[in-house]
Amino acid sequence: MKTLEQWFAEYSESHQNPLNRRIHKVCVPAIFFSIVGLLIQIPVNLGPLRLGELVIAIALGWYMTLGRKAFLMMLGQVIASYVLLYILGHLMSPVIPLLLIFVVAWIGQFYGHKVEGKKPSFFKDLQFLLIGPLWVWTH
Protein backbone atom coordinates (compact mmCIF):
# COMPACT_ATOMS: atom_id res chain seq x y z
CA MET A 1 0.00 0.00 0.00
CA LYS A 2 1.23 3.48 -0.87
CA THR A 3 2.02 6.05 1.77
CA LEU A 4 0.30 9.43 1.70
CA GLU A 5 3.55 11.01 0.49
CA GLN A 6 3.74 8.52 -2.40
CA TRP A 7 0.13 9.29 -3.37
CA PHE A 8 0.88 13.03 -3.27
CA ALA A 9 4.06 12.68 -5.33
CA GLU A 10 2.27 10.74 -8.03
CA TYR A 11 -0.75 13.06 -8.00
CA SER A 12 1.51 16.11 -8.25
CA GLU A 13 3.00 14.84 -11.52
CA SER A 14 -0.14 15.90 -13.41
CA HIS A 15 -0.67 19.09 -11.41
CA GLN A 16 2.36 21.27 -12.15
CA ASN A 17 0.78 24.14 -14.09
CA PRO A 18 -0.02 27.08 -11.77
CA LEU A 19 -3.43 27.71 -13.40
CA ASN A 20 -4.37 24.04 -13.11
CA ARG A 21 -3.35 24.09 -9.44
CA ARG A 22 -5.49 27.19 -8.77
CA ILE A 23 -8.46 25.61 -10.57
CA HIS A 24 -8.04 22.50 -8.41
CA LYS A 25 -7.99 24.60 -5.22
CA VAL A 26 -11.53 25.75 -6.09
CA CYS A 27 -13.01 22.83 -8.00
CA VAL A 28 -11.87 19.86 -5.89
CA PRO A 29 -13.48 21.16 -2.67
CA ALA A 30 -16.60 22.05 -4.67
CA ILE A 31 -16.79 18.54 -6.10
CA PHE A 32 -16.19 17.02 -2.67
CA PHE A 33 -18.99 19.17 -1.17
CA SER A 34 -21.40 18.31 -3.98
CA ILE A 35 -20.66 14.58 -3.73
CA VAL A 36 -21.19 14.54 0.03
CA GLY A 37 -24.42 16.46 -0.47
CA LEU A 38 -25.68 14.19 -3.22
CA LEU A 39 -24.72 11.03 -1.32
CA ILE A 40 -26.74 12.02 1.73
CA GLN A 41 -29.76 12.64 -0.48
CA ILE A 42 -29.94 8.92 -1.31
CA PRO A 43 -33.12 7.81 0.47
CA VAL A 44 -32.03 4.21 1.18
CA ASN A 45 -31.81 3.62 4.92
CA LEU A 46 -29.54 0.90 6.27
CA GLY A 47 -30.40 0.90 9.92
CA PRO A 48 -29.16 4.13 11.50
CA LEU A 49 -27.26 5.18 8.34
CA ARG A 50 -28.37 6.16 4.89
CA LEU A 51 -26.59 4.53 1.96
CA GLY A 52 -24.66 7.71 1.20
CA GLU A 53 -23.48 8.01 4.78
CA LEU A 54 -22.22 4.43 4.62
CA VAL A 55 -20.21 5.33 1.49
CA ILE A 56 -18.79 8.37 3.31
CA ALA A 57 -17.90 6.19 6.32
CA ILE A 58 -16.09 3.70 4.06
CA ALA A 59 -14.14 6.57 2.44
CA LEU A 60 -13.19 7.89 5.89
CA GLY A 61 -12.00 4.39 6.77
CA TRP A 62 -9.76 4.45 3.68
CA TYR A 63 -8.38 7.83 4.77
CA MET A 64 -7.62 6.33 8.17
CA THR A 65 -5.26 3.88 6.47
CA LEU A 66 -3.25 6.91 5.31
CA GLY A 67 -2.79 8.17 8.83
CA ARG A 68 -4.49 10.17 11.53
CA LYS A 69 -3.75 13.52 9.90
CA ALA A 70 -5.36 12.48 6.61
CA PHE A 71 -8.39 11.06 8.43
CA LEU A 72 -8.88 14.18 10.56
CA MET A 73 -8.52 16.51 7.57
CA MET A 74 -11.16 14.62 5.64
CA LEU A 75 -13.43 14.28 8.66
CA GLY A 76 -13.22 18.06 8.97
CA GLN A 77 -14.20 18.44 5.33
CA VAL A 78 -17.15 16.10 5.81
CA ILE A 79 -18.31 18.03 8.89
CA ALA A 80 -17.93 21.36 7.05
CA SER A 81 -19.93 19.92 4.15
CA TYR A 82 -22.70 18.80 6.51
CA VAL A 83 -22.86 22.28 8.07
CA LEU A 84 -23.07 23.97 4.66
CA LEU A 85 -25.65 21.44 3.52
CA TYR A 86 -27.73 22.08 6.63
CA ILE A 87 -27.73 25.80 5.84
CA LEU A 88 -28.43 25.22 2.14
CA GLY A 89 -31.24 22.80 2.99
CA HIS A 90 -32.96 25.50 5.00
CA LEU A 91 -32.81 27.89 2.05
CA MET A 92 -33.92 25.55 -0.73
CA SER A 93 -33.96 21.99 -1.95
CA PRO A 94 -30.23 21.26 -2.33
CA VAL A 95 -30.31 18.72 -5.18
CA ILE A 96 -30.30 21.12 -8.16
CA PRO A 97 -27.60 23.44 -6.74
CA LEU A 98 -25.48 20.38 -5.85
CA LEU A 99 -25.80 18.98 -9.37
CA LEU A 100 -24.85 22.37 -10.84
CA ILE A 101 -21.83 22.67 -8.57
CA PHE A 102 -20.78 19.13 -9.49
CA VAL A 103 -21.04 19.71 -13.26
CA VAL A 104 -19.44 23.18 -13.30
CA ALA A 105 -16.57 22.06 -11.06
CA TRP A 106 -15.84 19.04 -13.26
CA ILE A 107 -15.82 21.27 -16.33
CA GLY A 108 -13.27 23.41 -14.51
CA GLN A 109 -11.19 20.36 -13.64
CA PHE A 110 -11.06 19.14 -17.22
CA TYR A 111 -10.20 22.63 -18.45
CA GLY A 112 -7.35 22.73 -15.93
CA HIS A 113 -6.02 19.44 -17.25
CA LYS A 114 -6.31 20.70 -20.82
CA VAL A 115 -4.12 23.64 -19.80
CA GLU A 116 -1.79 21.22 -17.99
CA GLY A 117 -1.59 18.97 -21.03
CA LYS A 118 -1.93 15.84 -18.89
CA LYS A 119 -4.82 13.52 -18.14
CA PRO A 120 -6.39 13.60 -14.68
CA SER A 121 -4.72 11.14 -12.30
CA PHE A 122 -7.94 9.22 -11.67
CA PHE A 123 -7.80 7.90 -15.25
CA LYS A 124 -4.81 5.88 -14.01
CA ASP A 125 -6.28 4.92 -10.60
CA LEU A 126 -9.71 5.82 -9.21
CA GLN A 127 -8.22 6.16 -5.73
CA PHE A 128 -6.83 9.51 -6.86
CA LEU A 129 -10.41 10.81 -6.59
CA LEU A 130 -9.93 10.41 -2.84
CA ILE A 131 -6.42 11.89 -2.87
CA GLY A 132 -7.39 15.15 -4.60
CA PRO A 133 -9.26 16.64 -1.62
CA LEU A 134 -6.29 16.01 0.67
CA TRP A 135 -3.78 17.27 -1.87
CA VAL A 136 -5.46 20.66 -2.39
CA TRP A 137 -5.30 21.38 1.36
CA THR A 138 -1.65 20.44 1.68
CA HIS A 139 -0.11 21.78 -1.56
Instruction: Decide if 31 is inside a domain.
Output: yes
DSSP at 20: H
* Residue 121, CB-side half-sphere exposure with 13 Å CA sphere: 21
CA nearest neighbour of 17 among 93, 103, 129, 114: 114
Task: Say how many domains are in the chain.
Answer: 1
Which residues span the domain enclosing 132?
19-138
Cα separation of 126 and 103, whole Å?
18
Give a yes or no: residue 126 inside a domain. yes
What's the confidence (pLDDT) of residue 89?
87
Looking at the whole model, is its pTM more than 0.95? no
pLDDT in tens, 32-79: 999 999 998 888 888 888 889 999 999 999 999 999 999 999 999 999
pLDDT reported for residue 27: 98
Residue 13 placed within a domain: no
Q: Is residue 3 part of a domain?
A: no
Q: Is the dihedral of CA 80, 16, 130, 27 positive or negative?
A: positive
Residue of 74, 88, 70 whose CA lies nearest to 29: 74
